[in-house]
């Protein structure tokens, strides 16, 4: 009997949207932790990764305040990364209890890899294998590399404007500076391989039967409010001193990722002393799972077969 559920689950006092897909009962749990922050990804995963439901009980979690879990953060509401780590713990406890499994596979992307690495440091006994796609290592270094690449590869008039950006993103204009930089990195194909915009991904959101126009509008608002609340803390993230994990880690990187330097991730990976694997995606930038979906899905299935 197949599993196909879409529901709001109360997680640590906040209702959050969870989709669960499996061709049959009993398949191992795979939980996807999206990036952003706030970049809920249900439509993209339904479009590109639906094959995974033939091999896993595939769980798509839209994080607090994001996508179909959107609610408006209060002006004085404190939102921190550890909230998401604890939300993930509550979710995995629910899933493993319900499906009678002791561990999950954890697949994280971008901001989700911050949640993911913190999670396996704190709760390694609940994870079978961690897969970090476009892994965050040291955010301040990553942002300096992102800015440097944009300046060095943009026309002079654009580069001159980028030179005015504070690389610490701590000034009054940090949000506008971040938006300007990210748009330019996308134009330089450092986000989507061989594409200068994200229209192809946005189109999938607008066509997804699980997402109404209202959902899409809330998705956009969720990104903005999540970035505003979390970015100062994100800029402090640094995993470089953590070189051993009690869970096997797999890093998946797009060769041309200039949003989060894949070179920085590789330098970090080489220092890890525990069980690890590395995979390059040669025709991808920041989104290997959506630039090369077939190869990505095949990799996920191979990782399962290694067990």
Model confidence at 191: pLDDT above 90: yes
Query: What pLDDT sits at residue 47?
Result: 98
pLDDT per position as a tens digit, 59-70 = 999 999 999 999
Query: What pLDDT sits at residue 185?
Result: 98
Q: What is the mean pLDDT of the chain?
A: 97
Region 276-304 average pLDDT: 98
Residue among 248, 251, 270, 272 at smallest CA distance from 260: 251
Query: What pLDDT sits at residue 307?
Result: 78
Q: Which two tokens stand for residue 298?
A: 């095949």
User: What domains are defined for the chain?
Assistant: 3-137+197-305 (3.40.50.1820)
Confidence tier at 194 by pLDDT (50, 70, 90):
confident
Distance, CA of 94 to CA of 11 (rounded, Å): 9
pLDDT per position as a tens digit, 211-266 = 999 999 999 999 999 999 999 999 999 999 999 999 999 999 999 999 999 999 99
CA atoms within 13 A on the CB side of 284: 22
Model confidence at 15: pLDDT above 90: yes
* Share of the chain residues as helix, strand and coil, in percent rounded to the nearest 5: 45, 20, 35
Residue among 228, 202, 182 at smallest CA distance from 73: 228
């Amino acid at each position: 009997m197949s599993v196909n559920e879409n529901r709001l689950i109360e997680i640590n006092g906040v209702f959050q949207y969870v989709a669960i897909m499996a061709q049959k009962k009993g398949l191992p749990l795979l939980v996807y932790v999206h990036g952003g922050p706030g970049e809920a990804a249900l439509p993209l995963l339904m479009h590109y990764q639906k094959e995974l439901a033939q091999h896993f009980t595939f769980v798509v979690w839209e994080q607090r305040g994001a996508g179909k879990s959107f609610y408006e953060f209060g002006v004085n509401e404190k939102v921190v990364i550890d909230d998401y780590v604890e939300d993930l713990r509550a979710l995995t406890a629910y899933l493993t209890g319900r499906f009678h499994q002791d561990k999950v596979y954890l697949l994280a992307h971008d901001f989700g890899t911050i949640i993911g690495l913190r999670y396996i440091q704190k709760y390694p006994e609940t994870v079978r294998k961690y897969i970090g796609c476009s892994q965050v290592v040291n955010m301040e270094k990553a942002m300096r590399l992102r800015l440097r690449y944009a300046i060095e590869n943009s026309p002079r008039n654009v580069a001159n404007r980028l030179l005015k950006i504070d690389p610490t993103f701590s000034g009054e204009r940090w949000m506008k500076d971040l938006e300007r930089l990210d748009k330019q990195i996308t134009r330089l194909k450092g986000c989507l391989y061989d594409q200068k915009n994200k229209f192809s991904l946005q189109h999938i959101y607008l066509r997804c039967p699980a997402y109404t126009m209202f959902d899409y509008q809330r998705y956009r608002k969720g990104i903005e409010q999540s970035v505003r609340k979390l970015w100062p803390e994100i800029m402090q993230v640094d995993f470089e001193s953590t070189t051993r994990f009690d869970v096997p880690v797999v890093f998946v990187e797009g060769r041309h990722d200039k949003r989060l330097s894949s070179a920085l991730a590789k330098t970090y990976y080489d220092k890890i002393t525990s069980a690890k694997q590395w995979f390059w995606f040669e025709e991808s930038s920041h989104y290997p799972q959506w630039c090369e979906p077939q190869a990505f899905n095949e990799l996920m299935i191979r990782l399962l077969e290694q067990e």
